[in-house]
């Protein structure tokens, strides 16, 4: 299965910053309903906060889960590196394949 996503670079313009803010707020709201295993865990979301299809889109088509903070931060760094290495710019379409 392939999920099409569009990169949202929050620093691109005011609209992109607003999308990023909505993604963060919607994710945080959804996370309040979950039990945090410990202070070292962070609430993570899919689709990524760095996409236009993130939690703030308003269609409810996202998921959240608490994950170890070090793993979440490393995954974010790797995603950012991949965006740069493959030159995935603001509004670029890319696919995530899930088996």
Whether the pLDDT of residue 99 is over 80: the answer is: no
Mean pLDDT, rounded, of the chain: 96
pLDDT band at residue 12 under the 50/70/90 scheme: very high
Q: From 95, 97, 50, 54, select the one nearest 77 (Cα to Cα).
A: 50
Check residue 48 and give its pLDDT. 96
- As a whole number, mean pLDDT of residues 18-34 equals 97
Residues 78-87: pLDDT tens digits?
A: 999 999 999 9
Whether the pLDDT of residue 3 is over 80: the answer is: yes
């Amino acid at each position: 299965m392939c999920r099409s996503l569009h990169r949202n670079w929050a620093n691109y313009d005011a609209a992109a910053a607003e999308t990023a803010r909505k993604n963060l707020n919607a994710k945080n709201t959804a996370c309040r309903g979950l039990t945090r295993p410990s202070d070292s865990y962070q609430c993570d979301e899919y689709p990524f906060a760095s996409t236009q299809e993130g939690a703030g889109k308003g269609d409810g088509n996202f998921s959240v889960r608490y994950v170890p903070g070090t793993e979440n931060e490393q995954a974010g760094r790797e995603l950012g590196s991949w965006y740069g290495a493959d030159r995935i710019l603001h509004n670029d379409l890319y696919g995530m394949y899930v088996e």
